[in-house]
Structure 1
Amino acid sequence: MKKARKTGLIFFPAFDWAISPTHPEREERLLYTQDQVFEEGLLDLENIIEYKPSIASYSDINRVHFCVPDARAVTTESHLIAAGGAITAAEKVMNKEVDNAFALVRPPGHHAMLVVHGARGFCNVNMEAIMIEYIRHHYGHRRIAVVDTDCHHGDGTQDIYWNDPDTLCISIHQDGRTLYPGSGFHEEFGGPNALGTTLNIPLPPRTSDEGFLHVLDKAILPILSEFKPDLIINSAGQDNHFSDPITDMRFSAQGYAILNDRLSPDIAVLEGGYSIEKALPYVNVGIILAMAGLDYSHVREPEYDPSRFRQSEEISSQVAQEAEEIYELWSRRNELRERMIGDAKYMKRRKGVYYDTDGISEQQETIVRICSDCGGVVMVNSRSDLGNHIFAVTIPWNACRECRREGESAYDKAQKKDGYQHIYLQDKDRDLYLVK
């Protein structure tokens, strides 16, 4: 047993929010976990403390997203409370009331991108990003690392921080060629001013504890050591579990506990995980015990037999290669940035986004100013097949004079007569959000 740590827990099962009564993303996801936590007597321990979630404001959401037409239109009260639960976890850590905290909240959020026309991958707004920007606004700017352990690529968090050199986004997930959202490969490496702070580690189906922990030890932990974040956040998806009905991995409750023990996140925020009875109660208890510095060696889920979930030599070889390649990419990030940028003044990126939950298609063009002094002003032109056409500008944290001038000018010059229904300005340093 290690030295006990004080751990905060925030529960929000969202009783009134479900995509459908039988959908995997429903309130039972957390009810079984709550029962298990009570049954094991975890809340009777002095170093595990439960807190009630606060309610996030629309201003908290606007620090992160451009919601079309506005934040009220794409959220419910449950989304505000789930985001508020993540904020509460952050406050308890930042105010040093606890050593770390776990926000066991739903709905999930890691597929929600910078621009939000609707819901995708069960996600409307991004809980981790709302929490991160809340921390920066209320406690000062921080270098932050997000390690996303959900089985699905954390494409929303990646998109939000694509151009932020002070936010390291590492996603470890089932290979996107075999699973939604079909992304999360090595070439997705970050924007021109933040190259290398987006890192994706796609793993082959049927990877087990051995593979996940190999990548953690050989790639993720060394990279974190070099990045030197002020805070580590685990975007704690649990659908890598061997019993999950919508994925094909072989992770166990013990594996999740060991991962969190070694990663030692300051804050964990629940994401996916849809084996409601067979996995989530045990995985969550294992994570809580690991974060609290308590013995988790006896945590076992039903049907767990380590001999059934050993990965093949072929998978072990692929995983080892993934770890080696992603660390090499990270090590060459400065060289690759120089090669990418050359003498360019701007970098343009086009992509299509499908909001599978709501059936909306978006076409988006993003332009970022190449800058050696800050993350660069970002300008987004987005159009959905519902007819919404927007222009949005983000002035980054610690913006240099030229990026600030250009961002303010771009917002001032954009007019509705140009065909936009909405024009937005998001100013990180001044905590300003304007719409015309």
Structure 2
Amino acid sequence: MLRATHKTGLVFFPAFDWAIDPTHPEREERLLYTQDQVFEEGLLDIDGIVELKSDLVNIKDIQRVHFCVPDPWAVITESHLISAGGAKTIGMAVMDGTIERGFALVRPPGHHANRVVHGARGFCNINIEAIMIEYLRRAYGVDRVAIVDTDCHHGDGTQDIYWHDPDTLFISIHQDGRTLYPGSGFLNDFGGPNAAGTTINLPLPPETCDEGFLYAIEHAVLPILEDFQPQLIINSAGQDNHYSDPITNMNFSARGYARLTSMLKADIAVLEGGYAIEGALPYVNAGIIMAMAGLDYSHLREPDFNPDRLHQDPDVTRVIEKTCNYALEIWNKRAAITHTVRKKPDCGERRRQIFYDTDNILETQEETIRICDDCAGALRIDSISDRGVRMLGVTIPRKACSRCIEQGHQWYENGDRNHYRHIFLQDRVTDRYSERKD
């Protein structure tokens, strides 16, 4: 009888009541084929692979991460609570020691959801990984966390949430943003002035194959993880790098994904994208599950797999090598980068426009961070959408110093109600979320 080397938990939630439309790539069939494959292969009959039932997150869990405008119920459905709850279930089981590793095979996905949420972008409403992580920090005292996002699209929402957090290492491996949505995730995007270097982007050229992805893991991701020494490693396990995916341009295979998973040794994986519903997802997910459990995946292959078609161009290889070297340089020189960044007079300011492609909303945002050597810094966000809703959101970080606590409360109390329809305070020190009603 087969036995898993690492006890591995699975949560399935296909979200039957949530789809952008019946023929959209982001629909419930994404997971139904995977469930069938898992059952057909007998993976749940293997000693040490167990299925868990999804918990629910609550509104407080969401407000620990997001400013939802006007409120969470306006931007989520019950499926979002269950999807994020599936990640939370896996996280709790890992922390409780019920399982060693776990994979939340859930939808809707989440890695394009920013700290401020006016609606859906990139099929994402709330960031399910971030909600899970901040719950685990509050409930179990977890501090240093690494997130490795292997979705083909840059994890811009997760990057935004952790841009100023020196205790969260965010690494995104994705197709170059000059060639794919959301058009971000470049090498010089390395984090805010209080956390410079803890955001690492590895934009890879189109048509990167197994060779290129695994090179990036071995020569950039693993050395940085080793140096950072996280207590938890989270894999945002998007599967749209697959050679058959209909909306991307990469050449990764199911066996390559399994090898990546084996090398990464993530504690928790959470499903993100992946839209080759029949030809890729069942095989990629099976490979990830087998690799997490420590099982042999050497015979895993897709029905149409042809290695002769998936050779990496030497020019692609050279770009990947250069990208990895530059990312390591950023990591190793992060103290000097911080010093340089802080010399700029506007280093605590960030202005940008954010387009919600799913809901067709344009947000204009001005952000101010208090430069601080002692904590992540108090954060102030002034946000207005083209639908006329303006809000002020203030975050006091979970390990805030006394000066950042004071600054955060001043920003909150001094917000002009004549200018803002909503004024929110996210106080992570006391784990309280407030809205001024005066």
TM-score normalised over the length of structure 2:
0.98
**CA 1:212–1:2 in structure 2 vs 1: closer, same or farther (change >3 Å)?**
farther
Q: Secondary structure at the match of 1:4?
A: strand
Q: How far apart are 1:343 and its partner, in Å? A: 7.9
2:194 corresponding residue in structure 1 = 193
Structure 2: distance between partners of 1:185 and 1:33:
32
Structure 1: distance between partners of 2:367 and 2:219:
34
Q: How many equivalent residue pairs?
A: 435
Structure 2: distance between partners of 1:427 and 1:187:
30
2:153 corresponding residue in structure 1 = 152
Given that residues 113 and 124 in structure 2 are in contact (C-alpha distance below 8 angstroms), is that contact kept between their aligned partners in structure 1? Answer: yes
Trace 1:4-153 onto structure 2 (pairs within 5 A). Answer: 4-153=5-154
Percent of aligned positions that are identical: 60
Q: How far apart are 1:412 and its partner, in Å? A: 1.0
Structure 2: distance between partners of 1:265 and 1:259:
10
Q: How far apart are 1:405 and its partner, in Å? A: 0.6
Q: Secondary structure at the match of 1:5?
A: strand
Given that residues 393 and 424 in structure 2 are in contact (C-alpha distance below 8 angstroms), is that contact kept between their aligned partners in structure 1? Answer: yes
Q: How far apart are 1:41 and its partner, in Å? A: 0.5
Given that residues 345 and 370 in structure 1 are in contact (C-alpha distance below 8 angstroms), is that contact kept between their aligned partners in structure 2? Answer: no
The 4+ residue runs of structure 1 with deviation greater than 6 A are: none
Structure 2: distance between partners of 1:42 and 1:3:
10
Instruction: For residues 402-426 of structure 1, give each alpha carbon's deviation from its aligned partner in whole angstroms, at most 9, with x where no partner exists.
Output: 0001101110111312x10000000
Q: Secondary structure at the match of 1:196?
A: coil
| Structure 1, unaligned runs of 5 or more | none
Instruction: For residues 290-327 of structure 1, give each alpha carbon's deviation from its aligned partner in whole angstroms, at most 9, with x where no partner exists.
Output: 00001111111121111110111111111111111111
Trace 1:251-266 onto structure 2 (pairs within 5 A). Answer: 251-266=252-267
1:377 corresponding residue in structure 2 = 378
| Structure 2, unaligned runs of 5 or more | none
**CA 1:43–1:114 in structure 2 vs 1: closer, same or farther (change >3 Å)?**
same
Structure 2: distance between partners of 1:228 and 1:386:
44
Moved more, 9-18 or 343-352: 343-352
**CA 1:2–1:306 in structure 2 vs 1: closer, same or farther (change >3 Å)?**
farther
* Aligned partner letter, 2:55: S
Structure 2: distance between partners of 1:199 and 1:7:
28
Q: How far apart are 1:141 and its partner, in Å? A: 3.6
2:185 corresponding residue in structure 1 = 184
CA-atom RMSD, angstroms? Answer: 1.2
* Aligned partner letter, 2:22: P
Q: Secondary structure at the match of 1:336?
A: helix
Given that residues 111 and 121 in structure 1 are in contact (C-alpha distance below 8 angstroms), is that contact kept between their aligned partners in structure 2? Answer: yes
* Aligned partner letter, 2:156: D
Q: How far apart are 1:171 and its partner, in Å? A: 0.3
Given that residues 252 and 283 in structure 1 are in contact (C-alpha distance below 8 angstroms), is that contact kept between their aligned partners in structure 2? Answer: yes
* Aligned partner letter, 1:395: I
Structure 2: distance between partners of 1:172 and 1:69:
33
2:429 maps to 1:429 = yes
2:237 corresponding residue in structure 1 = 236
Given that residues 9 and 103 in structure 1 are in contact (C-alpha distance below 8 angstroms), is that contact kept between their aligned partners in structure 2? Answer: yes
Given that residues 107 and 122 in structure 1 are in contact (C-alpha distance below 8 angstroms), is that contact kept between their aligned partners in structure 2? Answer: yes
2:299 maps to 1:293 = no
Structure 2: distance between partners of 1:91 and 1:3:
20
Q: How far apart are 1:45 and its partner, in Å? A: 1.0
Given that residues 3 and 48 in structure 2 are in contact (C-alpha distance below 8 angstroms), is that contact kept between their aligned partners in structure 1? Answer: no
Q: Secondary structure at the match of 1:14?
A: coil
2:334 corresponding residue in structure 1 = 333
Instruction: For residues 358-414 of structure 1, give each alpha carbon's deviation from its aligned partner in whole angstroms, at most 9, with x where no partner exists.
Output: 000000000000000000000000010000000010001210000001101110111
Q: How far apart are 1:235 and its partner, in Å? A: 0.2
Structure 2: distance between partners of 1:409 and 1:345:
21
Given that residues 345 and 369 in structure 1 are in contact (C-alpha distance below 8 angstroms), is that contact kept between their aligned partners in structure 2? Answer: no
